[in-house]
Structure 1
Amino acid sequence: MNSTTVPTIVTTTQLAQLVEELSQRAETTTTNISQGLLIVVSSLIFFMQAGFAFLESGAVRAGKEKPVLFKNFLVLCVGNLAFWATGFAFGYGGTNPFIGDRYFFLINLGQNNYVLWLSNFVFAATTSTIATGALAERAKLVSYLVLSFFIAGLIHPVVAHWAWTEDGWLASGIKVDNVTVTYADFAGSGVVHVTGGAAAFLGAIVLGARIGRFNDMGQPVPIEEKTTSTSALGGFILFFGFLLFISGRNRSVTRTQDTITVGRISVNTLLAGSAGAITSLIFVAVISRKQKSNRDSQLLVATLNGCLAGLVAICAGADSVHAYAAIIIGIVAGLSHRSWTKVILKWKIDDPVESVSVHLGAGIWGVIAVGFFDFNRGLLYNWTRASVVQLMWNVVGLLAIIAWTAATSAILFGVLHTFNLLHLSRADELKGLEGSSWSRAAAVSGEKTNAMTRRRRRMQKQRSSVEEEAASVDEEKKESRGDSVSTTAV
């Protein structure tokens, strides 16, 4: 007998449930993909710490590289614990417009928000590293650790709460002509770089210059024996890292518009960094064209830091400016970097890694540039009240960030100075950081490096003396031959 198949009748209710279930699965898959990519991106941004370490270790005097690397690693670890204890809570917990008040020590934070903690920690860690770089060679180890704890645990998170949470007072903005104008800083030209740069500026002023950095006339003395090849390696790592640092602020990549935005961010990042590098290189090449000694190193350092200045400046508007605007922003950032560097030296402020000119100077320009070049609301495209207020609101944000950072940093440095925890003694600085508050291993490494340097110099002196003796003998021979010729002629 032929069996007949009875078709299954699906009711409207069952169909609706099926559609809802598929929609939930698709949403869950989309969320998992975005969070997975965010973990990968955050991990790669974390690797920027290696770039900062190499850049800084190449900018200090020979024999002091290992303490700098040691400091950078400890600063990262301390900042990690600080952001776990209080940083995330102050930055991203609660609805207060000025400061968060929940999730201390990650208590009551849902496990699905751990990715959010990771992705925001890397920005706090970057801020700490920027601030401590300007103190190189002359600050005690404990001062680095205390500074990094408070920057990652309080100073940066409060600024991030203002600008990057929907309840923050800068992010809430103000209404103009039925349009809500908010603080525009996509990836932290102000939130990260101005914060770190302002703390670095104040720290460099309080600490004073390294011994021998300026002569009796107040003129800067070039620091010899820099390992510029190490700085170049750090520059390459940071250039790569900034691609992820900026695009990582776009939390989703599952929609077509997301990929378009990330593509625009990446292109603008490369263009701004390159424009800053070339501008700074040309500027220094023209000024130093008559200089013969150490010119190659100066050009390399100028190129690296000019590139970083362009990258810092584009952070604020990488998602909302056209490619040509990114180049203009990079060019101005390169000029800004060189101008800040000259002014800082004129004021006799010693900043070994140029943290202030790169991060504070270029960061300020980046936040202001959004008010002109943002293709949605910039003054160059829309001359409206909302556009004017957008620029003004960004300036208000800058002033608030600088004031908050300066006030808290001043208190912090004042306390450290009062308890003699800030500046190395003159004797310790003269004999090198390796002999003071740093580890025995670092001290041994520094002594070996100094011994090798002294041995190399002795060999050079011996070689010079031998060459002088040989030249003297040759001269005597020439004179004796001349006398014999004269005698013969007579």
Structure 2
Amino acid sequence: MQLGFAMLCAGSVRAKNAMNIMLTNVVDAVVGSISYFLFGFAFAFGDGSNANPFIGTEFFALKDVPNSSYDYSYFLYQWAFAIAVAGITSGSIAERTQFSAYLVFSFFLTGFVYPVVAHWVWSSSGWLSPSSSSLLFSSGAIDFAGSGVVHLVGGIAGLWGSLIEGPRVGRFDAFGKPVPMRGHNATLVVLGTFLLWFGWFGFNPGSFDKILVAYPNTTNQGNWTGVGRTAVTTALAGSTAGIVTLFGRRLLVGHWDALDVCNGLLGGFVAITSGCSVVEPWAAIVCGFFSAWVLIGLNILALKLKFDDPLEAAQLHGGCGAWGLIFTGLFAKEEFVIQAFNSGETGVVRPYGLFLGGGWGLLGAQVVEVLVIVGWVSVTMGPLFYALHKLRILRISIDEEIAGLDVSSHGGYAYTAHHDDTPRFYADYMRLQNQS
């Protein structure tokens, strides 16, 4: 997954910032490792006599993990989710952010902000957990592999970072009209997309590990059936979103665009990640269809509001993540909910998708998850980015931005045969200044 993010981000920025964005992806992983080990894992899954019921913090004492108080493999799997959140946020503030700011927000986001949300939803003692002994609305929120816990958290954090920094130099002209700033390498974008697609088969089907229950009969039903179904729903939602985005953007801009398909595909994956284990394959197609239009619509709105997110991360991960949570509340199938969260136990009654006759309980819990994530990330990451801004350690100078972060901060361009486009960007900037 991290390799996929790195390639996607590198191809989506201009060549003069390729080295910088690749370095930030590495930093997200290495800083996230330390931060999540020291603090994040305990906040997310701490569950002992001294644990805080709201945010965990009993270090490594995990009732969630069977037969072991120190399950290192479980830590490693959860760490992969944690560092993905920082990678999402990095995309929103690409091409204009000081490197020191990456170190600060990545550490804080991975070590505290994300783990608290993970505790709410994925810990057995979390107040939103569908495996809790005290279920919210008799249901709990189903966010199987993180449409909200991972993607909405990263998207909202990126939203605040991008809003506080403001758009890149030259992104909008003197009349407020958007100026195209296309990524420099479509090959890397496509490569990164396929790597992420492959990685999603680890995140979604692999998340049955988070349930940590033994199904009584795995011969022809149970968790192994769920693993296969989850992989199918993931592929169908992403594929549907990709093809709908392709044709939708063709109608809007008049040409076929591989980069639009890639973002549409990822938007479908983000959306299905919440309900991948509890919906039918046909419902996954519905999920992907609407996630494409959520992404297209939010991108149009972003341009109207002069919001600049180089990787569309806030729209893609935030918007499609929120839609994925709502979708689960509408289309979750009762049989699959019981299979996933009650080990297929007979006689169990649980709320399920509203459109399938399951009542309002599950949908209500899903809406609550959306609202509390938006609120929590806003009151933590918003002030952090604002403080970095006031301390003048968030955004680079105009001169550095025009020259490119690679040459201004990292000693040279990523490509030895780089065609220097700095004069063109500087001329565009001076023209805009004169017009204003």
Q: TM-score, normalised to structure 1's length?
A: 0.76
Quote the sequence identity (%). 36
> 1:428 aligns to what?
400
> 2:277 aligns to what?
319
- The aligned amino acid for 2:401 is E
> 1:263 aligns to what?
228
Pairing 1:121–2:90 present? no
Equivalent in 370, 388, 392 of residue 360 of structure 2: 388
Pairing 1:96–2:52 present? yes
> 1:306 aligns to what?
264
> 2:241 aligns to what?
276
Between 125-134 and 218-227, the greater mean CA deviation after superposition? 218-227
- The aligned amino acid for 1:407 is V
**Structure with bigger RCO (C-alpha 8 Å, 6+ apart):** 2
Partner-residue secondary structure (3-state), 2:354:
coil
Between 109-118 and 157-166, the greater mean CA deviation after superposition? 109-118
Residue pairs, 1:47-62, within 5 angstroms: 48-62=1-15
Contact 1:63 1:450 in 2 (8 A): no
- The aligned amino acid for 2:29 is L
Contact 2:165 2:389 in 1 (8 A): no
- The aligned amino acid for 2:410 is S
Pairing 1:333–2:280 present? no
Cα RMSD after superposing both structures:
2.2
What is the distance in 2 between the residues matched to 1:450 and 1:104? 51
> 2:353 aligns to what?
378
Pairing 1:82–2:35 present? yes
Q: TM-score, normalised to structure 2's length?
A: 0.85
Residue pairs, 1:282-301, within 5 angstroms: 282-289=247-254, 295-296=255-256, 299-301=257-259
- The aligned amino acid for 2:387 is V
| 1:166-189, Cα deviation, whole Å (9 max, x unpaired) | 11111145466xxx2111111100
What is the distance in 1 between the residues matched to 2:227 and 2:19? 37
What is the distance in 1 between the residues matched to 2:165 and 2:276? 35
Gaps of 5+ in 2: 335-351, 424-436
> 1:439 aligns to what?
410
Partner-residue secondary structure (3-state), 1:222:
coil
- The aligned amino acid for 2:372 is A
| 1:402-438, Cα deviation, whole Å (9 max, x unpaired) | 10001100121122112211000111111110233x3
> 2:418 aligns to what?
449
- The aligned amino acid for 2:290 is V
Q: How far off is 1:226 after superposition?
A: 2.1
Q: How far off is 1:445 after superposition?
A: 4.2
Instruction: Pick closer, same or farther for the CA change 1:102–1:276 going to 2, 3 Å.
Output: same
- The aligned amino acid for 1:283 is G
> 1:459 aligns to what?
none
| 1:416-465, Cα deviation, whole Å (9 max, x unpaired) | 112211000111111110233x332xx254685144x699xxxxxxxxxx
| 1:122-148, Cα deviation, whole Å (9 max, x unpaired) | 110111100111111000001111111
Pairing 1:63–2:63 present? no
Equivalent in 385, 401, 411 of residue 413 of structure 1: 385
> 2:345 aligns to what?
none
Q: How far off is 1:111 after superposition?
A: 7.0
| 1:198-223, Cα deviation, whole Å (9 max, x unpaired) | 00111110111111111111111111
Residue pairs, 1:15-414, within 5 angstroms: 48-94=1-47, 95-103=51-59, 112-171=70-129, 172=132, 174=135, 180-224=138-182, 226-251=184-209, 255-256=218-219, 257-289=222-254, 295-296=255-256, 299-376=257-334, 377-383=352-358, 387-414=359-386
Count of aligned pairs between the two proteins:
390
Contact 2:60 2:70 in 1 (8 A): no
Structure index of larger Rg: 1
Instruction: Pick closer, same or farther for the CA change 1:175–1:403 going to 2, 3 Å.
Output: closer
- The aligned amino acid for 1:206 is I
> 1:33 aligns to what?
none
Q: How far off is 1:267 after superposition?
A: 0.5
- The aligned amino acid for 1:65 is A
What is the distance in 1 between the residues matched to 2:316 and 2:183? 22
Q: Which has the higher helix share?
A: 1
- The aligned amino acid for 1:329 is C
- The aligned amino acid for 1:414 is Y
What is the distance in 2 between the residues matched to 1:284 and 1:175? 40
